[in-house]
């Protein structure tokens, strides 16, 4: 897994390795494979790393603080949105490809939901 990602996303992983760990990404010369695997999995869990952004297909990295502030900003705008002036409230752009994918429920048709639940015995 690590070697596959390193081949596909050489730039981001090299950057993160140098900036975060202070060494070149050059396993097994710079460190053991065990340490490489542990550090790699930390990188792909961290949304602020270039490696995680590349692996997930994001436009850019985003720290957890950035994500929280973007959500607060959008909530503030949604609360103060004047529906009388027209227009639909639009969220701020996020780095991930489909911002609706993270929403619970999404825009699913109610009939599709009912049929899916009926198929599962509900």
CA dist 116 and 122 (Å) reads 9
Q: What is the pLDDT of residues 51-83, one digit of tens each?
A: 999 998 899 999 999 999 999 999 988 888 777
17 and 33 part of one domain: yes
* 81 shares a domain with 50: no
Same domain, residue pair 73 and 46 = no
What is the C-alpha to C-alpha distance for residues 1 and 112, in angstroms, rounded to an integer?
A: 37
Give yes or no: residues 7 and 48 share one domain: yes
What confidence category does residue 105 fall into, taking pLDDT thresholds of 50, 70 and 90?
A: very low
Q: What is the DSSP string of 38-82?
A: HHHHHHHH-TTSHHHHHHHT-SS---HHHHHHHHHHHHHHHHT--
How much is the pLDDT for 46?
A: 92
Q: How many domains does the chain have?
A: 2
Chosen domain end from 56, 78, 100: 56
- What pLDDT is stored for residue 48 in this prediction? 94
Same domain membership, residue 68 and residue 115? yes
Q: Is the pLDDT of residue 107 over 60?
A: no
| Domain coverage including residue 44 | 2-56
Say yes or no: 44 and 75 in one domain. no
Answer whether 0.85 is exceeded by the pTM. Answer: no
95 in the same domain as 68? yes
- Looking at the structure, do residues 86 and 115 belong to the same domain, yes or no? yes
């Amino acid at each position: 897994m690590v070697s596959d990602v390193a081949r596909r996303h050489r730039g981001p992983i090299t950057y993160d390795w140098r900036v975060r760990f202070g060494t070149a990404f050059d396993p097994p010369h710079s460190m053991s494979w065990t340490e490489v695997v542990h550090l790699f999995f930390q990188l792909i869990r961290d949304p602020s790393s270039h490696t995680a952004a590349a692996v997930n297909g994001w436009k850019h990295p985003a720290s957890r603080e950035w994500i929280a502030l973007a959500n607060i900003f959008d909530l503030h705008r949604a609360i103060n949105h004047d529906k009388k002036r027209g227009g639909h409230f639009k969220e701020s752009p996020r780095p991930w490809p489909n911002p609706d994918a993270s929403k619970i429920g999404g825009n699913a048709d109610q009939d599709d939901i009912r049929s899916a639940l009926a198929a599962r015995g509900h």
